[in-house]
Structure 1
Amino acid sequence: MNLAKAELNRLMSRRFVKLLVVVLFAVFGLTVAVVMIDSSRPSDQAWAEARQMAAEARADRTREHERCLTSKDPGAPQDLYDQYYGADCTAYDPADVKDEQYLSGVFVFSDEITGLAYMLAAYLAFFGFLIAASFIGAELSSGGLINLLLWRPQRGTVYGTKLGVLLGGLAVFNLGFTVLYVGVFWVLAATTGWTGNLGGDFWPDLIGLSLRGFVLALVTAACAYAIATIGRHTAAALGVLIGYVIAWELGARLVFYMINLEPSDPLFLSTYVAAWVNGGYRYWGNYDGSALVIDAGTGAAVLLGLAALLVGGGYLSFHRRDLT
């Protein structure tokens, strides 16, 4: 039998994988149900109230935008300079205010799908992490991988094929689930809410965000696969994840904040995740209103570099270690 086909059958037949798929769809179904319950088609009165509130918001933003621009002038009053110190004046652009943003009890697809896409990226990343860690970790801890190596003794081939099948399977599933996810919420908006303004850069931006989340899920899976290989157990990957989040992302951030060591954002992996998924991450404002930014390319380079390092370390561990 072909090794790749055998690994694909093994991946799809695992009870844990089936359980995670059920859980993923259950969470998706719950999210859809909440949206359906809280949404309704906007009435004429709702539109009138939304237009009035949007007009008031635009007027407020226009004043704030003008004050912010004035604060950047060399002769600006001190109190105005202090109020808008380090502020990005484009954040007060009145053109960003849309009438549909003030519809109450209405699911507006164009406004809310971005937040839902971030949720999807988190879902798929954690889903891929668990599947990848268990796919090889369970076999290493149980000794089942030894039987596979008796049939196909080339360790490098086995390691690479399992990883390739894993990432390929996740890629197909994630792509299909992403299309389903966005499509269902569009249908809900069209039938029980409001689709909003879908012109301009809306679809390119949404597709770009979804693709970045898609790539993040695959990178996360590759890292989990490698860590579980090095630790020879599924729990090793989970332990590293939990330990890193508690000890570094939470603990170290708190320490740096207490000793006033700022900005410390470039020291944390979550910063580069945010930079990649968001298409850039602004983490510090300067006196002149400029900012320190980590772009998406830097975020991608760090994540892919980490994945390559871990996958390479996993290969060396798998290639040289006694598995008996």
Structure 2
Amino acid sequence: MSLVRAETRRLFRRRFTSVILSGVLLIMAAIIVGTFLSNKQVTDSEVAAAKAQAAQDYQQAVQTAERDKAQCLAAPGTPDAANWPANCDEMWTPTQDEFDYTWYMAETFDLRSEYANMITLLAVLLASAAFLIGASFVGSEWNSGGMMNLLLWRPKRLQVLGTKLAVVLGWFTGLSVLLGAVWTGAFLLIAETRGTTAKMTSGVWQSFGLTGLRGLALVVVAGALGFALASLGRHTGMALGALVGLGALQIGVYIMAGLSGAKYPDAWLVPMWGFVWMYKEYVVEDIDSCNYSSEGGCTPDTFTMTWQTAGIGMAVVTAVVVGAALWSMRRRDIS
């Protein structure tokens, strides 16, 4: 326990940790304040006026479309025929769905439809912080020689590295839960005062909770990867360099996949897997394919990416990288 306390003090006394966490709090505050100021709670009269305006615009569009179609049908054999399509039935016909009354209202925060995006935003923010702090925490120890000094009185290498990793992940888990609770409370207040909490059922809250758990897993994975990469390279720059290299590699892989004719090149992008993990699934289309049907026309082939597959991929990559860091700690020369 003394090693855990010592590593905790070392983690939170570092200036880099304070700067990053302060930045996270400032960004969170800016998002909350910005959302509060950019939304307003609409009244029943405003909703009624928006519905009336939408209905009026729809009727005007219908009348305009009917007039245009009549002119199109009367155009053949006249100089005006070139201004109209050969088949007048292909002309646009407005539908009621194209005139949603909500488009005519002031911006209002709908907790049910918008909070999932806010959970993902917080998860990405905390994951970025966890990656940077985890990498810097162990990277600075290697770079300054602190790791070698620590091993003089704690010669158990794996215990030392494992404790450092556990401290980073443990504190970020607790911090994520705490900030997640504050985040939820803030947006619930915004919805009640500057938006709506309509249709918020127990099932919706359960869905938000599961999204939050996936976000927590994303934070833990990011912290573990940053820590392990920096430990492998014995420098913080190793983790940052790997991140930059991954971005460049992703661009190359995407280009090569497209040039080689591989189906679903989007499925090779790491950010897409993170998106799938948070939003449960994503349908990727092969725009070069076309399955024609008399009812649906030309529809491309699709591939559905699921959060289960993304989770397995994240777990495998994390296990390999962390395992490599532990193996390196045990086998390589410390000096």
1:237 — aligned with what?
A: 239
**CA displacement at 1:233 relative to structure 2:** 0.8
**CA displacement at 1:102 relative to structure 2:** 6.1
Inter-CA distance 42–312: structure 2 relative to 1 (3 Å threshold): same
User: C-alpha offsets along residues 140-192 of structure 1, whole Å, 9 cap, x if unaligned?
Assistant: 11111111111111001101111111111110001111111121011112123
The one of the two structures with greater contact order (alpha-carbon pairs below 8 A, sep at least 6) is 1
**CA displacement at 1:24 relative to structure 2:** 0.4
Q: Tell me the distance in 2 between the aligned counterparts of 1:40 and 1:16.
A: 38
1:298 — aligned with what?
A: 309
Runs of 5+ consecutive residues of structure 1 not aligned to the other structure: 59-78, 80-93
1:272 — aligned with what?
A: 273
User: C-alpha offsets along residues 93-125 of structure 1, whole Å, 9 cap, x if unaligned?
Assistant: x8xx99767642222222221221221121011
Inter-CA distance 138–48: structure 2 relative to 1 (3 Å threshold): same
**CA displacement at 1:295 relative to structure 2:** 1.8
| Paired AA for residue 279 in structure 1 | K
1:309 — aligned with what?
A: 320
Inter-CA distance 300–2: structure 2 relative to 1 (3 Å threshold): same
Inter-CA distance 150–270: structure 2 relative to 1 (3 Å threshold): same
CA contact (8 A) 1:140 1:323 kept: no
How many residues are paired up?
A: 289
User: Percent sequence identity over matched residues?
Assistant: 30
Runs of 5+ consecutive residues of structure 2 not aligned to the other structure: 59-86, 88-96, 293-298
Secondary structure in 2 matching 1:4: helix
Of 158, 161, 165, 1:159 maps to 161
1:32 — aligned with what?
A: 32
Q: Tell me the distance in 2 between the aligned counterparts of 1:257 and 1:56.
A: 46
| Paired AA for residue 317 in structure 2 | L
Quick check: which one's strand share is greater? 2
2:8 — aligned with what?
A: 8
**CA displacement at 1:257 relative to structure 2:** 2.9
| Paired AA for residue 299 in structure 1 | A
| Paired AA for residue 210 in structure 1 | G
| Paired AA for residue 171 in structure 1 | T
CA contact (8 A) 1:156 1:319 kept: yes
More deviation in 120-129 or 41-50?
Answer: 41-50
CA contact (8 A) 1:101 1:111 kept: no
Secondary structure in 2 matching 1:284: strand
CA contact (8 A) 2:253 2:268 kept: no
Q: Tell me the distance in 2 between the aligned counterparts of 1:231 and 1:53.
A: 62
**CA displacement at 1:256 relative to structure 2:** 2.9
CA contact (8 A) 2:158 2:330 kept: yes
Secondary structure in 2 matching 1:273: helix
**CA displacement at 1:45 relative to structure 2:** 3.2
1:20 — aligned with what?
A: 20
Secondary structure in 2 matching 1:201: helix
Q: Please show how residues 123-134 of structure 1 align to structure 2 within 5 Å.
A: 123-134=125-136
1:140 — aligned with what?
A: 142
Correspondence 1:216 to 2:218:
yes
Correspondence 1:149 to 2:151:
yes
Inter-CA distance 55–125: structure 2 relative to 1 (3 Å threshold): farther
| Paired AA for residue 309 in structure 2 | T
| Paired AA for residue 109 in structure 1 | L
CA contact (8 A) 2:4 2:163 kept: yes
Task: Name which one, 1 or 2, has greater alpha-carbon Rg.
Answer: 2
Q: Tell me the distance in 2 between the aligned counterparts of 1:234 and 1:35.
A: 35
- TM-score w.r.t. structure 1 length? 0.80
Secondary structure in 1 matching 2:196: coil
**Aligned-pair RMSD on alpha carbons?**
2.8
Q: Tell me the distance in 1 between the aligned counterparts of 2:329 and 2:141.
A: 12
